[in-house]
Chain A
Amino acid sequence: MSTKLSTEMSASLTMEPMRHRSGWQTLLYKELLRFWKVSFQTILAPVLTSLLYLLIFSQVLESHVSVFDGRVRYTAFLIPGLVMMSVLQNAFANSSSSLIQSKITGNLIFVLLPPLSPLDLFGAYVVGAMVRGISVGLGVFLVTLWFAPIAPAHPLWALAFALLGSMILGVMGLLAGIWADKFDQLAAFQNFLIMPLTFLSGVFYSIHTLPPFWQTLSHFNPFFYMIDGFRYGFFGLSDIEPGLSLAVIAVSCGALSALTLWVLKRGYKLRH
Protein backbone atom coordinates (compact mmCIF):
# COMPACT_ATOMS: atom_id res chain seq x y z
CA MET A 1 0.00 0.00 0.00
CA SER A 2 1.23 3.45 -0.83
CA THR A 3 2.12 5.63 2.11
CA LYS A 4 2.02 8.85 0.13
CA LEU A 5 -0.33 11.17 1.94
CA SER A 6 -2.41 13.71 0.16
CA THR A 7 -1.38 17.29 0.67
CA GLU A 8 -4.22 18.70 -1.41
CA MET A 9 -6.10 20.15 1.48
CA SER A 10 -9.59 21.43 0.91
CA ALA A 11 -10.84 24.62 2.45
CA SER A 12 -12.65 22.61 5.10
CA LEU A 13 -9.44 22.14 7.03
CA THR A 14 -9.28 25.81 7.70
CA MET A 15 -10.55 26.91 11.06
CA GLU A 16 -14.19 27.65 10.39
CA PRO A 17 -16.38 27.82 13.48
CA MET A 18 -17.87 24.46 14.41
CA ARG A 19 -20.90 23.73 16.52
CA HIS A 20 -19.92 21.90 19.66
CA ARG A 21 -22.19 19.94 21.96
CA SER A 22 -21.42 17.89 25.00
CA GLY A 23 -19.44 14.76 24.26
CA TRP A 24 -20.80 12.58 27.04
CA GLN A 25 -23.40 10.93 24.79
CA THR A 26 -20.59 9.76 22.52
CA LEU A 27 -18.67 8.33 25.46
CA LEU A 28 -21.85 6.53 26.51
CA TYR A 29 -22.33 5.26 22.94
CA LYS A 30 -18.70 4.04 22.96
CA GLU A 31 -19.26 2.25 26.27
CA LEU A 32 -22.39 0.52 24.92
CA LEU A 33 -20.70 -0.39 21.63
CA ARG A 34 -17.72 -1.77 23.54
CA PHE A 35 -19.72 -4.36 25.46
CA TRP A 36 -22.11 -5.04 22.59
CA LYS A 37 -19.19 -6.02 20.34
CA VAL A 38 -18.25 -8.76 22.80
CA SER A 39 -21.80 -9.66 23.85
CA PHE A 40 -21.04 -13.39 24.11
CA GLN A 41 -18.69 -12.54 26.95
CA THR A 42 -20.55 -9.59 28.45
CA ILE A 43 -24.20 -10.66 28.20
CA LEU A 44 -24.69 -14.30 27.21
CA ALA A 45 -22.00 -15.77 29.48
CA PRO A 46 -23.37 -14.22 32.72
CA VAL A 47 -26.91 -15.24 31.72
CA LEU A 48 -25.71 -18.83 31.33
CA THR A 49 -23.87 -18.69 34.67
CA SER A 50 -27.03 -17.53 36.47
CA LEU A 51 -29.05 -20.23 34.74
CA LEU A 52 -26.62 -22.85 36.05
CA TYR A 53 -26.96 -21.43 39.58
CA LEU A 54 -30.72 -21.70 39.27
CA LEU A 55 -30.63 -25.26 37.97
CA ILE A 56 -28.25 -26.47 40.67
CA PHE A 57 -29.64 -24.62 43.69
CA SER A 58 -33.31 -25.15 42.85
CA GLN A 59 -32.71 -28.84 42.16
CA VAL A 60 -30.86 -29.35 45.45
CA LEU A 61 -32.82 -27.04 47.77
CA GLU A 62 -36.37 -26.74 46.39
CA SER A 63 -37.77 -29.41 48.69
CA HIS A 64 -35.57 -28.52 51.69
CA VAL A 65 -35.89 -24.77 52.06
CA SER A 66 -38.99 -22.82 53.03
CA VAL A 67 -39.01 -19.08 52.42
CA PHE A 68 -41.49 -16.41 53.50
CA ASP A 69 -43.28 -19.07 55.58
CA GLY A 70 -43.84 -21.23 52.56
CA ARG A 71 -45.76 -18.57 50.64
CA VAL A 72 -43.18 -18.57 47.81
CA ARG A 73 -41.51 -21.56 46.11
CA TYR A 74 -37.74 -21.62 46.60
CA THR A 75 -37.08 -21.61 42.84
CA ALA A 76 -39.31 -18.54 42.42
CA PHE A 77 -37.61 -16.92 45.45
CA LEU A 78 -34.24 -17.54 43.87
CA ILE A 79 -35.00 -15.86 40.53
CA PRO A 80 -35.17 -12.17 41.61
CA GLY A 81 -32.03 -12.71 43.69
CA LEU A 82 -30.16 -14.14 40.71
CA VAL A 83 -31.45 -11.39 38.43
CA MET A 84 -30.30 -8.67 40.86
CA MET A 85 -26.96 -10.40 41.48
CA SER A 86 -26.38 -10.40 37.71
CA VAL A 87 -27.36 -6.75 37.46
CA LEU A 88 -24.95 -5.77 40.23
CA GLN A 89 -21.97 -7.86 39.18
CA ASN A 90 -22.20 -6.88 35.54
CA ALA A 91 -22.69 -3.18 36.24
CA PHE A 92 -19.49 -3.30 38.31
CA ALA A 93 -17.65 -5.34 35.69
CA ASN A 94 -18.53 -2.92 32.90
CA SER A 95 -17.27 0.36 34.26
CA SER A 96 -14.29 -1.15 36.07
CA SER A 97 -13.04 -3.25 33.15
CA SER A 98 -13.55 -0.48 30.60
CA LEU A 99 -11.54 1.98 32.64
CA ILE A 100 -8.71 -0.37 33.62
CA GLN A 101 -8.34 -1.60 30.04
CA SER A 102 -8.13 1.98 28.79
CA LYS A 103 -5.61 2.86 31.50
CA ILE A 104 -3.39 -0.13 30.86
CA THR A 105 -3.47 0.06 27.06
CA GLY A 106 -3.03 3.85 27.23
CA ASN A 107 -6.07 4.70 25.11
CA LEU A 108 -7.65 6.56 28.05
CA ILE A 109 -5.81 9.56 26.61
CA PHE A 110 -8.53 9.78 23.92
CA VAL A 111 -11.08 10.43 26.67
CA LEU A 112 -8.85 12.77 28.68
CA LEU A 113 -7.87 15.08 25.79
CA PRO A 114 -11.39 16.21 24.79
CA PRO A 115 -13.38 18.78 26.79
CA LEU A 116 -15.27 16.19 28.84
CA SER A 117 -16.09 17.34 32.36
CA PRO A 118 -15.92 15.09 35.45
CA LEU A 119 -19.71 14.87 35.29
CA ASP A 120 -19.55 13.84 31.61
CA LEU A 121 -17.14 11.00 32.45
CA PHE A 122 -19.20 9.96 35.47
CA GLY A 123 -22.50 10.00 33.54
CA ALA A 124 -21.22 8.04 30.56
CA TYR A 125 -19.38 5.31 32.47
CA VAL A 126 -22.15 4.87 35.05
CA VAL A 127 -25.07 4.85 32.59
CA GLY A 128 -23.11 2.44 30.38
CA ALA A 129 -22.65 0.15 33.38
CA MET A 130 -26.35 0.41 34.26
CA VAL A 131 -27.39 -0.53 30.72
CA ARG A 132 -25.09 -3.56 30.74
CA GLY A 133 -26.21 -4.67 34.22
CA ILE A 134 -29.90 -4.31 33.44
CA SER A 135 -29.50 -6.01 30.04
CA VAL A 136 -27.93 -9.05 31.69
CA GLY A 137 -30.57 -8.99 34.45
CA LEU A 138 -33.33 -8.90 31.85
CA GLY A 139 -31.70 -11.82 30.04
CA VAL A 140 -31.52 -13.85 33.26
CA PHE A 141 -35.16 -13.05 34.04
CA LEU A 142 -36.33 -14.12 30.58
CA VAL A 143 -34.48 -17.47 30.54
CA THR A 144 -35.53 -18.33 34.10
CA LEU A 145 -39.22 -17.71 33.36
CA TRP A 146 -39.35 -21.21 31.90
CA PHE A 147 -38.49 -22.68 35.32
CA ALA A 148 -40.82 -20.58 37.45
CA PRO A 149 -43.06 -18.09 35.65
CA ILE A 150 -43.20 -15.08 37.94
CA ALA A 151 -44.25 -11.51 37.30
CA PRO A 152 -43.37 -8.47 39.40
CA ALA A 153 -46.15 -7.62 41.85
CA HIS A 154 -44.77 -4.08 42.18
CA PRO A 155 -42.83 -3.38 38.97
CA LEU A 156 -41.96 0.19 39.90
CA TRP A 157 -40.30 -0.97 43.12
CA ALA A 158 -38.38 -3.60 41.17
CA LEU A 159 -37.33 -1.01 38.60
CA ALA A 160 -36.28 1.50 41.27
CA PHE A 161 -34.07 -1.10 43.00
CA ALA A 162 -32.62 -2.30 39.68
CA LEU A 163 -31.76 1.26 38.63
CA LEU A 164 -30.29 2.31 41.97
CA GLY A 165 -28.47 -1.00 42.50
CA SER A 166 -26.90 -0.93 39.04
CA MET A 167 -25.97 2.71 39.54
CA ILE A 168 -24.21 2.02 42.84
CA LEU A 169 -22.23 -0.83 41.34
CA GLY A 170 -21.47 1.20 38.21
CA VAL A 171 -20.09 3.94 40.46
CA MET A 172 -18.11 1.41 42.52
CA GLY A 173 -16.70 -0.03 39.28
CA LEU A 174 -15.68 3.44 38.16
CA LEU A 175 -14.00 4.11 41.48
CA ALA A 176 -12.22 0.72 41.42
CA GLY A 177 -11.12 1.31 37.81
CA ILE A 178 -9.67 4.69 38.74
CA TRP A 179 -7.89 3.30 41.79
CA ALA A 180 -6.48 0.10 40.27
CA ASP A 181 -3.22 0.24 38.36
CA LYS A 182 -3.30 -3.37 37.21
CA PHE A 183 -5.82 -6.12 36.55
CA ASP A 184 -4.68 -7.95 39.68
CA GLN A 185 -5.79 -5.09 41.94
CA LEU A 186 -9.14 -4.93 40.21
CA ALA A 187 -9.57 -8.71 40.52
CA ALA A 188 -8.86 -8.39 44.25
CA PHE A 189 -11.55 -5.71 44.56
CA GLN A 190 -13.98 -7.91 42.64
CA ASN A 191 -13.19 -11.23 44.32
CA PHE A 192 -12.63 -10.07 47.90
CA LEU A 193 -15.29 -7.38 48.14
CA ILE A 194 -17.98 -7.45 45.44
CA MET A 195 -18.32 -11.24 45.16
CA PRO A 196 -18.62 -11.98 48.93
CA LEU A 197 -20.99 -9.06 49.47
CA THR A 198 -23.30 -10.26 46.68
CA PHE A 199 -23.19 -13.94 47.70
CA LEU A 200 -23.83 -13.05 51.36
CA SER A 201 -26.65 -10.65 50.62
CA GLY A 202 -29.55 -13.08 50.60
CA VAL A 203 -29.49 -14.10 46.94
CA PHE A 204 -29.81 -17.77 47.87
CA TYR A 205 -31.60 -17.50 51.24
CA SER A 206 -33.83 -15.33 53.40
CA ILE A 207 -31.84 -13.78 56.23
CA HIS A 208 -34.54 -14.97 58.65
CA THR A 209 -33.10 -18.45 58.21
CA LEU A 210 -29.74 -17.24 59.59
CA PRO A 211 -28.62 -17.27 63.25
CA PRO A 212 -29.18 -13.87 64.97
CA PHE A 213 -25.51 -12.80 64.72
CA TRP A 214 -25.42 -13.29 60.96
CA GLN A 215 -28.82 -11.66 60.60
CA THR A 216 -27.46 -8.55 62.35
CA LEU A 217 -24.29 -8.61 60.27
CA SER A 218 -26.33 -8.81 57.06
CA HIS A 219 -27.85 -5.43 57.87
CA PHE A 220 -24.38 -3.89 57.39
CA ASN A 221 -24.18 -5.30 53.88
CA PRO A 222 -25.61 -2.71 51.45
CA PHE A 223 -26.13 -5.42 48.84
CA PHE A 224 -28.67 -7.09 51.14
CA TYR A 225 -30.99 -4.05 50.83
CA MET A 226 -30.72 -4.12 47.04
CA ILE A 227 -31.60 -7.83 46.78
CA ASP A 228 -34.32 -7.71 49.42
CA GLY A 229 -35.94 -4.60 47.96
CA PHE A 230 -35.81 -5.99 44.43
CA ARG A 231 -37.40 -9.21 45.64
CA TYR A 232 -40.18 -7.14 47.26
CA GLY A 233 -40.93 -5.81 43.77
CA PHE A 234 -41.74 -9.38 42.70
CA PHE A 235 -43.54 -10.90 45.68
CA GLY A 236 -44.68 -7.97 47.82
CA LEU A 237 -42.73 -9.73 50.59
CA SER A 238 -39.36 -8.81 52.03
CA ASP A 239 -37.15 -9.33 55.06
CA ILE A 240 -37.30 -5.62 55.90
CA GLU A 241 -39.43 -2.62 54.95
CA PRO A 242 -38.72 -1.78 51.22
CA GLY A 243 -38.89 1.96 51.89
CA LEU A 244 -36.03 1.60 54.35
CA SER A 245 -34.03 -0.45 51.83
CA LEU A 246 -34.59 2.18 49.16
CA ALA A 247 -33.50 4.94 51.53
CA VAL A 248 -30.33 3.04 52.51
CA ILE A 249 -29.26 2.44 48.94
CA ALA A 250 -30.27 5.95 47.78
CA VAL A 251 -28.10 7.50 50.50
CA SER A 252 -25.24 5.08 49.71
CA CYS A 253 -25.57 5.90 46.02
CA GLY A 254 -25.53 9.64 46.69
CA ALA A 255 -22.47 9.40 48.95
CA LEU A 256 -20.53 7.16 46.55
CA SER A 257 -21.43 9.37 43.58
CA ALA A 258 -20.26 12.49 45.40
CA LEU A 259 -16.99 10.78 46.33
CA THR A 260 -16.42 9.58 42.76
CA LEU A 261 -17.16 13.00 41.26
CA TRP A 262 -14.70 14.56 43.70
CA VAL A 263 -12.06 11.99 42.71
CA LEU A 264 -12.70 12.67 39.01
CA LYS A 265 -12.49 16.41 39.58
CA ARG A 266 -9.15 16.04 41.33
CA GLY A 267 -7.92 13.86 38.46
CA TYR A 268 -6.71 11.24 40.94
CA LYS A 269 -4.68 8.61 39.04
CA LEU A 270 -6.03 9.94 35.75
CA ARG A 271 -4.50 13.39 35.30
CA HIS A 272 -1.12 13.06 36.98
Chain B
Amino acid sequence: MGAAVEIIDVARRFGAVQALAGVDLVVEEGEFFGLLGPNGAGKTTLISIVAGLTRADRGTARVLGHDVVTDYRRARRLLGVVPQELVFDPFFTVRETLSIQAGYFGLRNNDAWIDEILHHLDLASKADANMRALSGGMKRRVLVGQALVHKPPVIVLDEPTAGVDVELRQSLWGFIRKLNRDGHTIILTTHYLEEAEALCNRIAMLKAGKVVALDTTQNLLSGFAGLTVRLTADALPDAWRERVLRHEGTSYLLSLTSYAELESLLSALREHGVAIAELALQEADLEQVFLRIMKRAA
Protein backbone atom coordinates (compact mmCIF):
# COMPACT_ATOMS: atom_id res chain seq x y z
CA MET B 1 0.00 0.00 0.00
CA GLY B 2 1.30 3.47 -0.86
CA ALA B 3 0.43 6.89 0.42
CA ALA B 4 -3.08 8.10 -0.30
CA VAL B 5 -2.24 11.63 0.82
CA GLU B 6 1.21 13.07 1.49
CA ILE B 7 1.63 16.46 3.08
CA ILE B 8 5.17 17.72 3.27
CA ASP B 9 6.12 20.87 5.19
CA VAL B 10 2.91 22.68 4.27
CA ALA B 11 2.55 26.19 5.64
CA ARG B 12 -0.11 28.84 5.12
CA ARG B 13 -0.58 32.27 6.62
CA PHE B 14 -3.71 34.43 6.44
CA GLY B 15 -2.64 37.95 7.37
CA ALA B 16 -1.42 37.83 10.95
CA VAL B 17 -2.66 34.28 11.50
CA GLN B 18 -0.32 31.37 10.84
CA ALA B 19 -3.00 28.82 9.93
CA LEU B 20 -0.48 26.06 9.15
CA ALA B 21 3.11 26.16 10.36
CA GLY B 22 4.90 23.38 8.50
CA VAL B 23 2.71 20.27 8.60
CA ASP B 24 4.07 16.84 7.65
CA LEU B 25 1.58 14.03 7.37
CA VAL B 26 1.14 10.80 5.43
CA VAL B 27 -2.18 9.00 5.18
CA GLU B 28 -1.79 5.47 3.86
CA GLU B 29 -4.11 3.93 1.31
CA GLY B 30 -7.12 2.23 2.89
CA GLU B 31 -6.83 4.05 6.21
CA PHE B 32 -9.70 5.59 8.14
CA PHE B 33 -7.78 8.62 9.31
CA GLY B 34 -8.93 11.23 11.80
CA LEU B 35 -7.82 14.84 11.73
CA LEU B 36 -8.71 16.44 15.04
CA GLY B 37 -8.10 19.79 16.64
CA PRO B 38 -9.86 22.72 18.24
CA ASN B 39 -11.46 25.47 16.15
CA GLY B 40 -8.79 27.38 14.28
CA ALA B 41 -6.25 24.54 14.51
CA GLY B 42 -5.86 24.46 10.72
CA LYS B 43 -7.85 21.31 9.83
CA THR B 44 -10.03 22.90 7.17
CA THR B 45 -7.10 24.87 5.74
CA LEU B 46 -5.13 21.63 5.42
CA ILE B 47 -8.05 19.89 3.70
CA SER B 48 -8.56 22.92 1.44
CA ILE B 49 -4.92 22.76 0.36
CA VAL B 50 -5.21 19.05 -0.46
CA ALA B 51 -8.43 19.77 -2.40
CA GLY B 52 -6.89 22.69 -4.30
CA LEU B 53 -9.26 25.24 -2.77
CA THR B 54 -6.42 27.02 -0.98
CA ARG B 55 -2.83 27.49 -2.04
CA ALA B 56 -0.01 26.74 0.38
CA ASP B 57 2.69 29.37 0.98
CA ARG B 58 5.21 26.54 0.97
CA GLY B 59 5.33 22.77 0.97
CA THR B 60 3.83 20.03 -1.14
CA ALA B 61 0.63 18.02 -1.04
CA ARG B 62 -0.01 14.92 -3.13
CA VAL B 63 -3.00 12.67 -3.66
CA LEU B 64 -1.96 9.12 -4.61
CA GLY B 65 1.36 10.55 -5.79
CA HIS B 66 -0.12 13.41 -7.84
CA ASP B 67 0.85 16.94 -6.84
CA VAL B 68 -2.28 19.00 -6.09
CA VAL B 69 -0.84 22.04 -7.93
CA THR B 70 1.29 20.79 -10.80
CA ASP B 71 -0.82 17.71 -11.53
CA TYR B 72 -4.11 19.02 -10.22
CA ARG B 73 -6.35 17.33 -12.79
CA ARG B 74 -5.33 13.81 -11.72
CA ALA B 75 -5.14 14.74 -8.04
CA ARG B 76 -8.68 16.13 -8.03
CA ARG B 77 -10.12 13.14 -9.91
CA LEU B 78 -8.80 10.89 -7.14
CA LEU B 79 -10.31 12.97 -4.35
CA GLY B 80 -13.88 13.42 -3.13
CA VAL B 81 -14.58 16.13 -0.58
CA VAL B 82 -17.65 16.58 1.60
CA PRO B 83 -17.43 20.22 2.64
CA GLN B 84 -18.22 21.45 6.12
CA GLU B 85 -20.74 24.09 5.05
CA LEU B 86 -24.22 22.97 4.05
CA VAL B 87 -24.09 24.45 0.55
CA PHE B 88 -26.27 23.71 -2.46
CA ASP B 89 -27.34 25.20 -5.78
CA PRO B 90 -31.00 26.25 -5.46
CA PHE B 91 -31.64 26.06 -9.21
CA PHE B 92 -31.45 22.29 -9.48
CA THR B 93 -33.04 19.04 -8.40
CA VAL B 94 -31.14 16.34 -6.51
CA ARG B 95 -30.61 14.26 -9.66
CA GLU B 96 -29.49 17.30 -11.67
CA THR B 97 -27.08 18.24 -8.88
CA LEU B 98 -25.44 14.79 -8.95
CA SER B 99 -25.46 14.54 -12.72
CA ILE B 100 -23.89 17.98 -13.14
CA GLN B 101 -21.24 17.20 -10.52
CA ALA B 102 -20.35 13.99 -12.37
CA GLY B 103 -20.14 15.97 -15.60
CA TYR B 104 -17.61 18.36 -14.08
CA PHE B 105 -15.36 15.33 -13.71
CA GLY B 106 -15.91 14.49 -17.36
CA LEU B 107 -18.34 11.64 -16.63
CA ARG B 108 -21.53 11.45 -18.65
CA ASN B 109 -24.33 8.91 -19.07
CA ASN B 110 -23.73 7.51 -15.61
CA ASP B 111 -27.37 7.42 -14.51
CA ALA B 112 -26.99 3.89 -13.17
CA TRP B 113 -24.31 4.99 -10.72
CA ILE B 114 -26.32 8.07 -9.73
CA ASP B 115 -29.35 5.85 -9.08
CA GLU B 116 -27.15 3.67 -6.89
CA ILE B 117 -25.91 6.66 -4.90
CA LEU B 118 -29.49 7.90 -4.48
CA HIS B 119 -30.46 4.45 -3.23
CA HIS B 120 -27.54 4.13 -0.80
CA LEU B 121 -28.16 7.60 0.61
CA ASP B 122 -31.91 7.01 0.87
CA LEU B 123 -32.60 9.89 -1.50
CA ALA B 124 -34.30 7.99 -4.34
CA SER B 125 -37.74 9.37 -3.46
CA LYS B 126 -36.33 12.92 -3.55
CA ALA B 127 -34.42 12.54 -6.83
CA ASP B 128 -36.61 15.04 -8.65
CA ALA B 129 -37.14 17.41 -5.73
CA ASN B 130 -35.50 20.81 -5.82
CA MET B 131 -32.57 21.15 -3.44
CA ARG B 132 -34.39 23.97 -1.62
CA ALA B 133 -37.16 21.55 -0.64
CA LEU B 134 -34.83 19.20 1.26
CA SER B 135 -34.25 19.09 5.00
CA GLY B 136 -30.78 19.83 6.39
CA GLY B 137 -30.03 16.12 6.81
CA MET B 138 -31.03 15.37 3.22
CA LYS B 139 -28.89 18.22 1.92
CA ARG B 140 -25.98 16.79 3.89
CA ARG B 141 -26.55 13.41 2.21
CA VAL B 142 -26.58 15.06 -1.22
CA LEU B 143 -23.18 16.58 -0.35
CA VAL B 144 -21.91 13.08 0.40
CA GLY B 145 -23.37 11.89 -2.91
CA GLN B 146 -21.65 14.73 -4.78
CA ALA B 147 -18.32 13.71 -3.26
CA LEU B 148 -18.83 10.09 -4.41
CA VAL B 149 -20.21 10.74 -7.86
CA HIS B 150 -16.85 10.27 -9.60
CA LYS B 151 -15.93 7.20 -7.48
CA PRO B 152 -12.85 8.74 -5.86
CA PRO B 153 -10.46 6.38 -4.02
CA VAL B 154 -9.75 9.06 -1.38
CA ILE B 155 -12.66 10.68 0.43
CA VAL B 156 -12.34 13.65 2.77
CA LEU B 157 -15.20 14.38 5.14
CA ASP B 158 -14.97 17.76 6.83
CA GLU B 159 -17.32 17.69 9.82
CA PRO B 160 -19.91 15.65 7.92
CA THR B 161 -22.20 15.09 10.88
CA ALA B 162 -22.33 18.65 12.23
CA GLY B 163 -25.96 19.38 13.01
CA VAL B 164 -27.11 15.93 11.90
CA ASP B 165 -29.50 13.91 14.06
CA VAL B 166 -28.32 10.75 15.81
CA GLU B 167 -30.15 8.29 13.55
CA LEU B 168 -28.78 9.78 10.35
CA ARG B 169 -25.31 10.07 11.88
CA GLN B 170 -25.29 6.33 12.64
CA SER B 171 -26.55 5.49 9.16
CA LEU B 172 -24.01 7.76 7.53
CA TRP B 173 -21.17 6.14 9.44
CA GLY B 174 -22.39 2.69 8.42
CA PHE B 175 -22.19 3.85 4.82
CA ILE B 176 -18.75 5.45 5.19
CA ARG B 177 -17.40 2.36 7.00
CA LYS B 178 -18.55 0.25 4.07
CA LEU B 179 -16.74 2.57 1.67
CA ASN B 180 -13.60 2.14 3.76
CA ARG B 181 -13.96 -1.65 3.77
CA ASP B 182 -14.28 -1.50 -0.03
CA GLY B 183 -10.83 0.10 -0.17
CA HIS B 184 -11.54 3.82 -0.06
CA THR B 185 -9.24 5.90 2.07
CA ILE B 186 -11.26 8.06 4.44
CA ILE B 187 -10.00 11.25 6.05
CA LEU B 188 -12.33 12.64 8.66
CA THR B 189 -12.46 15.81 10.68
CA THR B 190 -15.04 15.91 13.43
CA HIS B 191 -15.75 17.54 16.75
CA TYR B 192 -17.48 14.37 17.92
CA LEU B 193 -14.44 12.65 19.43
CA GLU B 194 -16.35 9.50 20.29
CA GLU B 195 -16.99 9.15 16.54
CA ALA B 196 -13.30 9.50 15.75
CA GLU B 197 -12.43 6.97 18.46
CA ALA B 198 -14.91 4.45 17.10
CA LEU B 199 -14.08 4.91 13.41
CA CYS B 200 -10.48 5.97 12.88
CA ASN B 201 -7.49 3.64 12.80
CA ARG B 202 -5.07 6.51 13.09
CA ILE B 203 -5.39 10.07 14.29
CA ALA B 204 -3.49 13.30 13.88
CA MET B 205 -4.16 16.17 16.26
CA LEU B 206 -3.51 19.72 15.16
CA LYS B 207 -3.07 22.78 17.30
CA ALA B 208 -2.21 26.26 16.06
CA GLY B 209 -1.24 24.91 12.66
CA LYS B 210 1.07 22.16 13.93
CA VAL B 211 0.70 18.41 14.34
CA VAL B 212 0.92 17.84 18.09
CA ALA B 213 0.08 14.13 18.06
CA LEU B 214 0.07 11.45 15.39
CA ASP B 215 -0.46 7.79 16.18
CA THR B 216 -2.86 4.92 15.97
CA THR B 217 -6.03 5.44 17.96
CA GLN B 218 -5.08 2.49 20.17
CA ASN B 219 -1.63 3.89 20.94
CA LEU B 220 -3.03 7.31 21.73
CA LEU B 221 -5.51 5.78 24.18
CA SER B 222 -2.99 3.48 25.85
CA GLY B 223 -0.26 6.14 25.90
CA PHE B 224 -2.49 8.29 28.02
CA ALA B 225 -3.65 5.49 30.30
CA GLY B 226 -5.09 7.03 33.36
CA LEU B 227 -8.28 8.24 34.88
CA THR B 228 -10.29 11.35 34.90
CA VAL B 229 -12.51 12.55 37.68
CA ARG B 230 -15.58 14.61 36.99
CA LEU B 231 -16.12 16.62 40.13
CA THR B 232 -18.77 19.13 41.15
CA ALA B 233 -17.54 21.13 44.14
CA ASP B 234 -17.61 24.75 45.30
CA ALA B 235 -13.78 25.05 45.19
CA LEU B 236 -10.57 23.18 44.40
CA PRO B 237 -7.32 23.19 46.43
CA ASP B 238 -4.57 25.11 44.62
CA ALA B 239 -2.26 22.07 44.50
CA TRP B 240 -4.77 20.29 42.26
CA ARG B 241 -5.39 23.12 39.83
CA GLU B 242 -2.68 21.97 37.45
CA ARG B 243 -4.58 18.71 37.02
CA VAL B 244 -7.68 20.47 35.68
CA LEU B 245 -8.47 19.53 32.11
CA ARG B 246 -11.68 21.51 31.93
CA HIS B 247 -13.49 23.85 34.29
CA GLU B 248 -17.00 25.26 33.98
CA GLY B 249 -18.52 26.97 37.06
CA THR B 250 -18.39 24.44 39.88
CA SER B 251 -17.72 21.52 37.54
CA TYR B 252 -14.12 20.27 37.17
CA LEU B 253 -12.58 17.58 35.02
CA LEU B 254 -9.27 16.42 36.55
CA SER B 255 -6.71 13.89 35.40
CA LEU B 256 -5.34 11.20 37.74
CA THR B 257 -2.42 8.91 37.00
CA SER B 258 -3.88 6.01 39.02
CA TYR B 259 -6.71 4.97 41.34
CA ALA B 260 -4.32 5.55 44.29
CA GLU B 261 -4.33 9.26 43.56
CA LEU B 262 -8.04 9.42 44.14
CA GLU B 263 -7.50 9.07 47.91
CA SER B 264 -5.01 11.98 47.85
CA LEU B 265 -7.56 14.13 46.05
CA LEU B 266 -10.33 13.27 48.50
CA SER B 267 -8.00 13.97 51.45
CA ALA B 268 -7.07 17.36 50.02
CA LEU B 269 -10.73 18.24 49.53
CA ARG B 270 -11.54 17.18 53.14
CA GLU B 271 -8.60 19.18 54.54
CA HIS B 272 -9.84 22.30 52.77
CA GLY B 273 -13.41 21.66 53.86
CA VAL B 274 -14.68 21.45 50.29
CA ALA B 275 -18.14 19.90 49.97
CA ILE B 276 -18.45 17.45 47.07
CA ALA B 277 -21.79 17.68 45.28
CA GLU B 278 -21.01 15.04 42.66
CA LEU B 279 -18.07 12.82 41.71
CA ALA B 280 -17.58 10.34 38.84
CA LEU B 281 -14.54 8.34 37.73
CA GLN B 282 -13.91 7.72 34.04
CA GLU B 283 -11.45 5.57 32.09
CA ALA B 284 -9.43 7.53 29.53
CA ASP B 285 -11.23 8.02 26.24
CA LEU B 286 -10.24 10.00 23.19
CA GLU B 287 -11.81 13.14 24.58
CA GLN B 288 -9.57 12.96 27.64
CA VAL B 289 -6.54 12.19 25.49
CA PHE B 290 -7.42 15.12 23.25
CA LEU B 291 -7.79 17.51 26.18
CA ARG B 292 -4.48 16.39 27.71
CA ILE B 293 -2.61 16.72 24.43
CA MET B 294 -4.08 20.15 23.78
CA LYS B 295 -3.18 21.25 27.29
CA ARG B 296 0.35 19.88 26.95
CA ALA B 297 0.78 21.66 23.62
CA ALA B 298 -0.41 24.98 25.01
Contact = CB atoms under 8 A, between A and B. Distances in A.
Interface of A: 1-7, 9-10, 12-16, 18-23, 25-27, 29-30, 33-34, 37-38, 102, 105-107, 109-117, 267, 271-272
Contact of B182 (A4, A9, A107, A110): A9
Nearest to A23: B104
Contacts of A6: 119-120, 122, 175
Nearest to B154: A15
A149 to B, nearest CB: 37
A107 B87 CA distance: 5
Which of A26, A111, A267, A271: most chain B CB closer than 10 A?
Answer: A26
B182 to A, nearest CB: 6
B91 A114 contact: no
Nearest to B178: A7
Contacts of B53: 109, 112-113, 271-272
25 contacts: A3-B137, A3-B171, A5-B121, A7-B177, A9-B178, A10-B116, A14-B182, A15-B153, A16-B151, A20-B106, A21-B106, A23-B104, A23-B106, A27-B103, A29-B103, A106-B87, A107-B88, A109-B83, A109-B85, A110-B87, A110-B100, A110-B101, A110-B104, A113-B52, A113-B104
Nearest to A112: B53
A114 to B, nearest CB: 4
Given A6-B120, A14-B182, A21-B106, A114 B76 contact: yes
B165 interface: yes
Interface residues of B, number: 61
B278 interface: no
Given A5-B122, A29-B103, A111-B104, A20 B77 contact: yes
A203 to B, nearest CB: 31
Q: How would you classify the secondary structure of chain B's contact residues: helix, strand, loop or mixed? A: helix
A20 B104 CA distance: 10
B296 to A, nearest CB: 31
Nearest to B86: A106
A21 B81 contact: no
A117 B52 contact: no
A3 B167 contact: yes
Given A20-B77, A33-B96, A113-B76, 14 more contacts: A3-B137, A3-B167, A4-B122, A4-B167, A12-B151, A13-B148, A13-B179, A15-B153, A15-B183, A16-B151, A30-B92, A33-B92, A115-B74, A272-B54
A115 B92 contact: no
